[in-house]
Copies of this chain bind each other. A is one copy, B any other.
């Protein structure tokens, strides 16, 4: 593609889609065009947007046409950061009737100005020594208000099952009973202790919170305290904070992006930002090493096409940035592992909360059931076969189903 242009696709509706596209191209860049004197036009032309494609989808009863419009914006219109990008392509436009931001195509010249993931899939596989299989992550059953000793007990129980990662609950901000740096140190000790007995290293992802102007320092303090990984509520704090964490050479741990608040953006067909862009392309650009998103399973779930597109955007080999791990989350139990494997492949993190803590044998057995289900899927065995050698998996399948 043209290295000097960004292509932005919107889903919208209008009496005349082409005219609407042309209005966006001018209105979001130089403001007005036809009433600009010719000499001034030459000066402003390098900043002018251009309507490059219109794809009608359906005629509405109102007489309007619904469809995609694609605008080409000069990269020079933006500073290389997501606040500039989103304000420039969707800032005031987001308030201009029914319009949803669905995709952005970046030239390498622009995306290479972003950090992208510092570690990505390869780096996290090295850190966990987990190769050629989906990794496994567990979430604390609850963090808020829990006595520190209970959290330590929970951490140990999960880790003993052979997990690759354990993460905080994303609502864990008020942590006076188990302060950030203190628990990083404490869980680090438990992880080393568990590794001595099981041989398996587990990474702990602590929730990075605090005043926004102190987050980079807090992240560095976490690194000094021995942190393995940081969980981060990217949308609550802003994409640019992730960007600056990922770009800082002293923040030497992977960053796990939580999708909290994403549902305020993506589910409407008429408004907002589509999730393959929001949690896919933008998270990768800004530097997430792992990206959680709603799985396409369960009662309330992400549309499967969207979830797969999101994952593909994280893994797209044509983008020169590192690739973050997709982490399809919510409603995951061991019986779903073959489906997860079929849908998302080897490069994913299987992430469970209730599916581990709710195991009849407790969290250690819950983790073990997943470990065995993942091994079976990679080996091409059915869960029913694998359950013959795994009491934990057998109990899990009896409780949640799956084969």
Residues of chain B within 8 A (CB-CB) of A32 are 141-142
How many interface residues does A have (CB within 8 Å)? 76
Q: Given A271-B264, A272-B268, A170–B87 Cβ distance below 8 Å?
A: yes
Residues of chain B within 8 A (CB-CB) of A174 are 76-79, 84
Let me know if A199 is at the binding interface, CB within 8 A: no
Max chain B C-beta neighbours (<10 A), residue from A32, A86, A144: A144
* A34 CB to nearest chain B CB (Å): 13
Q: Given A209-B83, A233-B91, A300-B95, A77–B264 Cβ distance below 8 Å?
A: no
Q: Given A144-B47, A240-B237, A86–B261 Cβ distance below 8 Å?
A: yes
Interfacial residues of chain A within 266-318, with CB under 8 A of chain B in the complex: 267-268, 270-273, 294, 300, 302
Interfacial residues of chain A within 142-185, with CB under 8 A of chain B in the complex: 142, 144-147, 150, 169-171, 173-174
CA distance A78 to B173 in the complex (A): 6
CA distance A169 to B88 in the complex (A): 10
Residues of chain B within 8 A (CB-CB) of A209 are 79, 83-84
Let me know if A332 is at the binding interface, CB within 8 A: no
CA distance A82 to B238 in the complex (A): 12
**Segment of A23-31, A333-341, A359-367 in the binding face:** A23-31
**Contact of A31 with B83 in the complex, beta carbons under 8 Å:** no
CA distance A209 to B44 in the complex (A): 22
Residues of chain B within 8 A (CB-CB) of A243 are 211-212
CB < 8 Å neighbour of A238 from B97, B170, B241, B270: B241
**Contact of A171 with B93 in the complex, beta carbons under 8 Å:** no
Let me know if A52 is at the binding interface, CB within 8 A: no
Residues of chain B within 8 A (CB-CB) of A47 are 144-145
Copies of this chain present in the complex amount to 2
CA distance A98 to B323 in the complex (A): 32
Interfacial residues of chain A within 248-268, with CB under 8 A of chain B in the complex: 258-265, 267-268
Q: Could you tell me which A residues sit within 8 Å of B by CB distance? A: 28-32, 40, 43-44, 46-47, 76-79, 81-84, 86-88, 90-99, 101, 141-142, 144-147, 150, 169-171, 173-174, 209-213, 216, 233, 236-238, 240-241, 243-244, 258-265, 267-268, 270-273, 294, 300, 302, 330
* A305 CB to nearest chain B CB (Å): 17
Taking A91-B260, A97-B300 as given, write out 17 further A-B residue pairs in contact, using a Cβ cutoff of 8 Å, ordered by the A residue number: A28-B171, A29-B144, A31-B169, A43-B145, A79-B174, A81-B173, A84-B173, A87-B233, A88-B171, A90-B263, A90-B264, A91-B258, A93-B263, A94-B261, A236-B238, A264-B265, A268-B272
